[in-house]
Structure 1
Amino acid sequence: MLGAIVLLCLCVCVSSGPFGRSDGISLDPKVPEEIREDASLKVPALVRKYGYPLKEHRVTTADGYVLTMHRIPHGRDAGNSTAERPVVFIMHGLMSSSADWVLMGPNKGLAYILAEEGFDIWLGNARGTRYSRQHVKLNPDSGADFWNFSWDEIGNIDLPTMIDYALDKANKKRLHYIGHSQGTTSFFVMCSLRPDYNQKIISMNALAPVAYLTNNACPIVKAMAPFSTVIEKLSKVIGVGEMLPISNSKVMRWAGEKLCSDTAMFQEICTNIVFLIGGWNSLEFNRTMLPVILSHTPAGASIRQFAHYGQVTHSGSFRRFDHLGIWNYKIYGTWDPPLYDLSQVKAPVFLRYSLSDPLAHVDDVERLAKELGNLKAKTSIPMTSFSHLDFIWGINAKKLVYDQVIADIRRMEESLFIFHPY
């Protein structure tokens, strides 16, 4: 969804002339070399730049998508340690990638923090993202066939495939899962449709959990929801399946540096559009990092992923993708798409939500909490203005979110060794 930020920024900038600039604001802004370099690096090079080990792993799903995972097996100074390292699998949100967990840098990015805490970190990348944009037969840049998926397939196919691979390589039977936004949606899908995977999850921390969207306050989502199915069908007819192609990544990087950096005259506009989509919280948003954020996001997604969320919003139900009529019957055996059975989510779930999140509304989180099969805790972030994107980019995310997540994981590890040894 963040990709819309840049497009809107570009529209505003093209249609606007210089206006009321204060001192220090420039049409040719100077971006600090550190920021410029981080914006130019992909995840493997970015992680290694800061002295962390990273290994890329690729696995092919049963339906032919080639997925890339990024593994940070330990912290900077723990390479020779023989200590047991529990596996933590982390999954990104819509239009994002594994970059979410490292782009803010050491001591800020969740992946770095967990690695230093002694965990074996696996960062997933859903099909269609920058790092999982490959198929054994289909071409993502030719027609819409590659993009015939929503977060239903991500939860039903991608997550189980990546989790099995990570467990096998780490020689473990169970792992901890952390997801943000769509990373929570796909987890609920997995445990609903493939309940055997509950047994492979020690704990699940859901950051800004999204299942129901009845009360979401995002104006873009609400406006498009009634037309989402029609839009998806029309896009397929004309052979377009990708939302905001990442082939425009150079444009995004240019926009980040020239329009949204600290000395750029349009930074305020860029920031306000971020807030329009992800919620308003100027206290937590580090504007200096906009060039880095926009060089990594959007990272790729299908139009059907957006359409599926639109259907959930419009129907008021958490259910599978609506292919309409006879197609539903052919795929599901019913005329209407089946509901996801959240009571099947038996893995221990910790819900972490915020009071000002326009996408994971408090009432929708409450509804989700009542239907989960094994809710361990439902915790609101102790900052009333904390919002959707603050879970991954917030200045104080470590103190307000990550430290508590780590405490939960450690408690679950202790109970695991007492009652259910590896």
Structure 2
Amino acid sequence: MWLFRFLVAQLFLAFIAMALPSEVDRSSSVTTVSLVKKFGYAIEEHEVQTSDGYLLTMHRIPYSKHTGYDGKRPVVFLMHGLLCSSSDWVLSGPDNGLAFIFSDAGYDVWMGNARGNTYSRKHASKSPTFQPFWNFEWHDIGIYDLPAMMDYILYLTGEPNLQYVGHSQGTTSFFVLNSMIKRFKSRIRSAHLLAPVAWMGHMESPLAKVAGPLFGQPNALIELFGSAEFLPSSKAMELMGSVFCRDQAFSQVMCTNILFLMGGWDSPYLNTTLIPEVMATTPAGCSVNQMFHYLQEYNSGDFRQFDYGATRNKKEYGNKNPPNYDVEGMDVPVYLYYSDNDYFASLIDVDLLRRTMNPASLKRAYRMPEKKWNHLDFLWGLNIKEILYDTVLEDIINA
């Protein structure tokens, strides 16, 4: 059944690609700034440069529209997943958007954007038009992007630490950061990880089952040819969302199948009214290497650094195999939130993560009671505030 849906979704995407304009347009009317302003909240844009030259845009909601500026606030930092952006946290509006919920609860809310996505397509010396810009993967987001953004936030606000909330790749890059750069132990008060992705050997995604055997092998070709951009955001995608995915559109079922393909089939929590905005902002673009690294995790069953093949691995790591990430050595308070119907963070893999983590560090592992809750429902599920975000907020307050 999943194969049939997979093929139908792929044919639909191919039809859209042929029917709509192909040029990339970054001036989309659906942006994090436009969405936040639409709902009456203050919004700021901040740019920070990483130590390897990427210029990243962060979005900040400094205070709630219900209070106005009310003095210094504790900081919460939200980090998006693969092919996503800061828009994830505001698409659902004030009632269910996590950024708004935190703002109304008294937090200074910062939303990150990883290199290469819609809002972070600049570099001190490289152009995204050319291949060298795209020579990165999510390991680099963990060791360069997260430190640069969090150091900037803490310096600007004067706060000693922050609360971290990540979804999907935002959890993977968190594990990378805390495995590789131990100084952040004192800078993260607690971490709240939605749909945590580390080990992926039991991932159920049809995309992984199809692409994993082909693209999840040790990739020595990257050294020769480099990486490239994968699924950039475009005006065509925004048009697709507004025309083909709106309520009452006969083709909306195809849009839902695309989302189910990404996150898990047949979730009853999918907010179909929100699909046009989701499709207008997602995918937000990434590097092909990010995809390859995840497929390597699926193939190997290990949570480890990028596998270039034995020859370059020896040069890069001093061993023919890439090193594992030191999840056991992390010493930051961590809260996990996971579900049964998640194609990317399977129950078996999350259980391995739980057993590997330092028991003193793992403060909570919350398995969603909603059996059909999927990977994307952590962002846009119906009634998500009552179902999940109230719990996350309570955990942060008590951390």
Shorter-chain TM-score above 0.5: yes
1:35 aligns with: none
Amino acid paired to 2:244: L
TM-score of the aligned structures, taking structure 2 as reference length:
0.91
Runs of 4+ in 1 over 3 A off after TM superposition: 4-8, 12-16, 229-240
- 1:48-90 Cα offsets, whole Å, 9 max, x none, are 12111111111101100001110111111222323x5210001
Partner SS state of residue 344, structure 1: coil
Separation (CA, whole Å) in 2 of partners of 1:369 and 1:136:
39
Partner of 2:310: 325
Q: Please identify the structure whose Cα radius of gyration is greater.
A: 1
> 2: CA distance between counterparts of 1:244 and 1:6?
15
Worse overlay, 115-124 or 324-333: 324-333
Q: Deviations over 1:332-368 (max 9, x none)?
A: 2222110001012210000000111111101100100
Tell me the secondary structure at the aligned position of residue 286 of structure 2: coil
Which of 64, 67, 77 is equivalent to 2:66? 77
Structure 2 equivalent of residue 178 of structure 1: 165
Query: Deviations 1:180-232 (Å, cap 9, x if unpaired)?
Result: 00000000000001122122111100100000111111111122122225696
**In the aligned structure 1, how far is the partner of 2:273 from the partner of 2:229?**
29
Tell me the equivalent position of 2:44.
55
- What is the CA–CA distance in structure 2 between the aligned matches of 1:77 and 1:314, rounded to whole Å? 49
Q: CA shift at 1:238, angstroms?
A: 6.2
TM-score (norm. length: structure 1)? 0.86
Specify the SS of the correspondent of 2:96. Answer: coil
Are positions 1:9 and 2:20 aligned together? no
Residues 14 and 146 of structure 1: is their aligned pair in 2 closer, same or farther, counting only changes over 3 Å?
Answer: closer
Deviation per residue, 1:5-24 (Å, 9 max, x gap): 986423356999xxxxxxxx
Q: For the Cα contact (< 8 Å) 2:241–2:275, is it kept in 1?
A: yes
Equivalent in the alignment of 2:106: 118
For 2:223 and 2:127, locate their aligned partners in 1 and report how far apart those are by CA, in whole Å.
15
Q: Pick from 319, 322, 328: which aligns with 1:343?
A: 328
- Count of equivalent residues: 384
Instruction: For 2:269 and 2:301, locate their aligned partners in 1 and report how far apart those are by CA, in whole Å.
Output: 31
Residue 198 of structure 1 aligns with an amino acid whose one-letter code is K
8 Å contact 2:267–2:374 — kept in the other structure? no
Write out aligned runs for 1:174-253 (5 A).
174-229=161-216, 241-246=228-233, 249-253=234-238
Question: Residue 301 of structure 1 aligns with which residue?
Answer: 286
Distance 2:215 2:393 in 1: 38
**Residues 5 and 55 of structure 1: is their aligned pair in 2 closer, same or farther, counting only changes over 3 Å?**
farther
What is the CA–CA distance in structure 1 between the aligned matches of 2:352 and 2:184, rounded to whole Å? 23
The RMSD of aligned alpha carbons is: 2.2
**Preserved CA contact (<8 Å) 1:355 1:381:** yes
Map of 2:357 onto structure 1: 372
Distance 1:279 1:229, change over 3 A: closer
Q: Which runs of 5+ in 2 are unaligned?
A: 1-6, 20-27
- Residue in structure 2 matched with residue 30 of structure 1 by the alignment: none
Q: 1:99 is aligned with what amino acid?
A: S
Correspondence 1:44 to 2:33: yes
CA distance in 2 between partners of 1:264 and 1:238 (Å): 42
- In the TM superposition, residue 269 of structure 1 has moved relative to its aligned partner by 1.5
Structure 1 stretches of 5 or more lacking a match?
A: 17-38, 413-422
Query: Which amino acid counterpart does residue 203 of structure 1 have in structure 2?
Result: S
Cα separation, 2, equivalents of 1:7 and 1:256: 16
User: Hey, what does 1:101 align to over in structure 2?
Assistant: 89
Q: Distance in 1 between matches of 2:280 and 2:337?
A: 28
